[in-house]
Amino acid sequence: MNKENTHHAKERVQVYVDGFNLYFGMLEAGFEYCKWLNLKLLATNLLKPNQELVCVKYFTSRVSDNPDKQKRQTTYIEALESEGVHILYGHYQRSAIECKRCGNIWASYNEKMTDVNIATQMLIGAYQNQYDMAMLISGDSDLVPPIRQIHELFPSKRLFVAFPPKRHNQSVALVAKGSMTIGRKKLVESQFSESVKKRDGFLLQKPTGWQ
């Protein structure tokens, strides 16, 4: 008998992380101390024994309104890259908000294109047979249509949603083939060490204030 037929292959899992959705969900839940989050470790900790992690893709936008935030974000992204996490960028768009009462105008910054980028990558992954299960870490209802389409076009594949804290969305849960909410314990267990070594040997330090 062929050895390949004597056991079942593990389910291939590709993880798609909505960076801002996860970040603000953790803040809203009071988990500020979990910002130094190792996404590859988190993904591994969310898997079942019959699953194997193929890839983690992290979707974010470069902040541009605060030098300190920019420095912390750069450090965090480099830490993720040291673990082999793929980073995909949207846009951090500046817009003006005017107070109708006083006439004052101030700048507002919004993340753009993340949901489109996630949808595109999940569909590409399905078409190229990169995964058996896609794990989406987001509660963004804009992702309902691509989830539905993936299940219609690829019945053998499933899209599982791991909601960030405070980001459970019933419309997303209804179209997913399984869902859960990431709890504090998993976040705490999935932190980077205080120092993270890059591939070139440089040591990244956990940003001040992320204690």
pLDDT digits (tens, 9 = 90+) for 80-95: 999 999 999 985 545 4
Domain chopping of the chain, boundaries = 12-205
pLDDT at 64: 78
pLDDT at 143: 97
pLDDT at 210: 87
- Confidence category of residue 104, pLDDT binned at 50, 70, 90: low
- Of 28, 47, 30, nearest in space to 186 by CA: 47
Phi, then psi, of 136 in degrees rounded to 5:
-100, 125
This prediction's pTM: 0.88
Fold exhibited by the domain 12-205: Rossmann fold (3.40.50)
Q: What proportion of the chain, given as a percentage, has pLDDT over 70? A: 86
